[in-house]
């Protein structure tokens, strides 16, 4: 009986041993095609928004830029930027990726697998990389500056929202502005602000704004069609020092400038009453004589804007007026 049991066990295990051998041969390439190559290249990237279409309308559809369109980025303390990594070739099993900042006093990076969040925490320079096994990406250099003098006059935080009622002659409409997230354009970190015109039955998506607070003030990025391509231009909507009499000029047009009229104005609009507002007077002589007066309230943003044609404050020349009706702001 003992001999019969041994023979039965041998017959039972033999097919299993053959199958194991076949599996091992297949894993080593025997009997099949060449295996896919392992990872040969690793690239770090970040979120980028397409700026214009051939029709000239700005879209808010983002995409990942691999490798980064700008390998060196200027940021301010408190910026938060989505990062990602991409590998070419076949992933071997599931090894972890490692995100690394060369200077965590300047920028930290927290990620899982192929996505991470970069947060700037102090002035200086840091190199950001991600590694996978023995491979590492080229570094993304982040240079961080602290101290935006105008930060409180337009608080840029994801989800912040401002609703205005816009009047232009007999026309009136609600305009909603929402701070979406941060992206990289022209080597700098910018906030993307979605602008919508609200109607009874639908929302009309208008051209978004690209804003950032830097060491000089509140800066806007916009694009102008020159020939067959769109060229980036910049202007400051607010600029320090925050004192009555400060003037700053459009770098592209000497007859386009802003004056800080007052830092202590009181303004009442639909959203409420505000004190210690900045009153800015903009003169644009590039296509006529336009005057725009804007008021910015601390910890709120722009609360009113009035544009006049050919005269400074004559009510008969009022072309449009924006008034803040509500604001949803992070505290």
pTM beyond cutoff 0.75: yes
Closest CA to 193 of 47, 58, 331: 58
On whether the CB atoms of residues 194 and 208 are closer than 8 A, the answer is yes
Give every CB contact of residue 250 below 8 A, 6+ residues apart in sequence.
Answer: 235, 256, 257
What single-letter DSSP state applies at residue 152?
Answer: G
Q: Is the pLDDT of residue 31 over 70?
A: no
**CA–CA distance, 316 with 304 (Å, rounded to integer):** 18
The percentage of residues in the chain with a pLDDT greater than 70, rounded to a whole number, is 78
Counted residue by residue, the chain has a size of 331
| Among the ranges given (41-45, 183-187, 221-225, 296-300), the one the predictor scored with the smallest mean pLDDT | 41-45
Integer Cα distance of 296 and 277 in angstroms: 5
The 3-state secondary structure of 201-268, one letter per residue: CCEEEEEEEEEEECCCEEEEEEEEEECCEEEEEEEEEEECCCCCCCEEEECCEEEEEEEEEEEEEEEE
Average pLDDT, the chain: 82
**Structure letter (DSSP) for residue 286:** S
CA distance readout (Å), 226 to 51, 208, 230, 286: 15, 20, 6, 16
Domain boundary assignment for the chain: 41-145, 151-328
- The answer to whether the beta carbons of residues 98 and 113 sit under 8 Å apart is no
Given CA atoms 73, 77, 79, 84 in this order, what sign does their dihedral have?
A: positive
Angle at 176 (CA atoms; ends 266, 326), nearest 5 degrees: 40
- DSSP secondary structure letters along 175-194: EEEEEEEEEEETTEEEEEEE
CA dihedral 45, 49, 52, 54 (to 10 degrees): 60
**CATH for 151-328 (2.40.360.20, 3.40.30.10, 2.102.10.10, 2.40.50.140):** 2.40.360.20
Instruction: Give 79's contacts (C-beta < 8 A, 6+ positions apart).
Output: 118, 119, 120, 144, 182, 189
What is the structure's pLDDT at 10?
38
Position 132 scores a pLDDT of 82
Q: Is the pLDDT of residue 312 over 90?
A: no
Whole-angstrom distance, CA of residue 286 vs CA of residue 251: 13
Give me the DSSP letters along 41-64.
EEEEEEEEE----TTS-----EEE
Tell me, which fold does domain 41-145 have in CATH? Immunoglobulin-like (2.60.40)
Segment 40-99, tens digit of pLDDT: 677 888 777 665 544 544 445 566 777 777 889 999 999 999 998 887 765 555 567 889
Question: Who wins on pLDDT, 269 or 34?
Answer: 269
Terminal Cα distance for the chain, rounded: 84
241: preceding bond cis by omega (within 30 degrees): yes
Host H or E run for residue 84: strand 80-88
153 pLDDT band, cuts 50/70/90, is: very high
> For the segment 9-29, what is each residue's pLDDT rounded down to a tens digit?
433 333 443 343 433 334 444
Computed from CA positions of residues 59, 60, 66, 71, in that sequence, does the dihedral angle turn out positive or negative?
positive
Model confidence pLDDT, tens digit, residues 190-241: 999 988 888 755 556 667 789 999 999 999 998 887 888 878 899 999 999 9
């Amino acid at each position: 009986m003992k001999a019969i049991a041994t023979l039965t066990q041998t017959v039972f295990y033999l097919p299993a041993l053959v199958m194991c051998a076949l599996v091992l041969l297949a894993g080593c390439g025997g009997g099949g095609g060449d295996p896919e190559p392992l990872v040969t290249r690793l690239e770090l990237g970040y979120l980028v928004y397409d700026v214009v279409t051939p029709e000239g309308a700005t879209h808010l559809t983002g995409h990942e830029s691999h490798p980064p369109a700008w390998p060196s980025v200027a940021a301010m303390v408190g910026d938060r930027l989505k990062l990602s990594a991409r590998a070419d070739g076949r992933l071997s099993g599931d090894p972890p990726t490692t995100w690394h900042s060369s200077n965590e006093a300047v920028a930290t990076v927290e990620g899982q697998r192929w996505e991470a969040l970069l947060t700037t925490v102090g002035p200086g320079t840091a190199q950001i990389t991600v590694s996978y096994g023995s491979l590492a990406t080229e570094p993304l250099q982040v240079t961080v500056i602290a101290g935006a003098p105008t930060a409180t006059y337009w608080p840029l935080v994801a989800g912040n929202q401002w609703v205005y009622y816009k009047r232009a002659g007999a026309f009136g409409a609600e305009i909603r502005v929402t701070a979406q997230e941060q992206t990289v354009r022209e080597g700098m970190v910018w906030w993307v602000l979605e602008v919508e015109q609200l109607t009874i039955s639908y929302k009309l998506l208008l051209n978004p704004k690209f804003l950032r607070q830097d060491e000089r003030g509140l800066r806007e990025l916009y694009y102008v069609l020159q020939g067959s391509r769109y060229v980036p231009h910049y202007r400051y909507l607010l600029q320090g020092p925050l004192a009555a009499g400060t003037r700053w000029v459009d770098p592209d047009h000497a007859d386009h400038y802003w004056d800080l009229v007052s830092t202590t104005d009181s303004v009442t609009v639909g959203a409420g009453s505000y004190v210690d507002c900045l009153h800015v007077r903009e003169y644009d002589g590039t296509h006529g004589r336009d005057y725009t007066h804007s008021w910015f309230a601390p910890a709120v943003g722009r609360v009113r804007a009035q544009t006049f044609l050919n005269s400074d404050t004559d009510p008969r020349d009022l072309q449009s007026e924006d008034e803040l009706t509500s604001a949803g702001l992070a505290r």
